[in-house]
Amino acid sequence: MNIKKIMVIGAGQMGAGIAQVCAVSGYDVILHDTNAEALDHGFKGIEKRLARDVVKGKLSEDDKHASILRIKKTDAIDEAANCDLVIEAVVENMDVKTKIFSQLDQIAPAHAILATNTSSLPITEIAAATKRPDKVIGMHFMNPVPVMKLVEVIRGLATSDKVFETIKQTAESLNKTAVEVNDFPGFVSNRVLMPMINEAIYTVYEGVAEPEAVDEVMKLGMNHPMGPLTLADFIGLDTCLYIMETLHEGFGDDKYRPCPLLRKYVKAGWLGKKSGRGFYSYSK
């Protein structure tokens, strides 16, 4: 299948990043969000990052201009009718995602592939909201999308080999490394990462060490580029909690039980960098 036009649903940090790498790689892109402010913010973020790449010599001025021209902003999901691939990148919530996929199934052409950037939710369950489960697949990009090379490509129970190969090739055309993963809670990345972050939170909760000390140990002792609590703040503590709950429910194993301190911070609205406060303060 030849992918020419891609629609990205959700103009947040992940969606805007996905739209950017698709446009830079030569695809025509439709960036969709129902929130006009979020759509504007996402598009301006793309322009800012591309301008920074020009300054760094990673991109020419002409390529920057051409990439921006390839992106069309819209609040109308009906524009999926003209796309070969739709990548959903909205909030990590099964009800929201299945509603969107049910809509897309009615709108997108019969040949179109519907992909989700979910970081932990079952692809098979999302696919069940459509009448084309063979054309539904997981395409889990890492954050920040323009920098990180990995894309987890996750087959649902019914995903066809042809669709898998098309998405693998598409990911590689974005200068990414596609890694095949089966449909289990958290896939590989978050099944390994989130329990580590949760355990780091437990060390703070139990008074073993302060956040700064936990992060220093992991950076200097384990050669991690970023400490787990700093990373949690960047991901969003609400997202971390949701993924831990998905793992806990999916496996029924108490080793995935979210730390009470993580729940407390989320209830307090301390969501990390995006809210200005998490394990660290990000006040201007």
| CA proximity to 203, closest of 275, 270, 279, 277 | 279
Q: For this structure, is 119 an active site residue?
A: yes
Catalytic residue among 117, 119, 120, 198: 119
Q: How far is CA 5 from CA 11, 79, 85, 173, 203, in A?
A: 17, 11, 7, 14, 47
| CA proximity to 167, closest of 22, 9, 13, 14 | 22
Report the alpha-carbon distance of residue 114 to residue 242 in Å, rounded.
Answer: 23
Q: Token pair of 44, please?
A: 């301006």
Catalytic residue among 67, 117, 190, 198: 190
- DSSP string across 256-284: GPPPHHHHHHHHTT--BGGGTBSSSB---
Catalytic residue among 88, 92, 120, 140: 140
Helix ranges (DSSP H) in the chain? 13-24, 36-55, 61-69, 94-107, 123-127, 161-173, 189-205, 211-216, 222, 228-235, 237-251, 260-267
Q: For this structure, is 67 an active site residue?
A: no
Q: For this structure, is 172 an active site residue?
A: no
Q: For this structure, is 206 an active site residue?
A: no
Residue 84 backbone phi and psi in degrees, to 5: -95, -25
Catalytic residue among 152, 165, 210, 283: 152
Long-range Cβ contact pairs of 252-259 (< 8 A, separation 24 or more): 255/195, 256/195, 256/198, 258/198, 259/198, 259/201, 259/202, 259/205
Q: How far is CA 18 from CA 45, 136, 234, 259, 273, in A?
A: 12, 18, 18, 31, 21
- Active site members: 119, 140, 152, 190
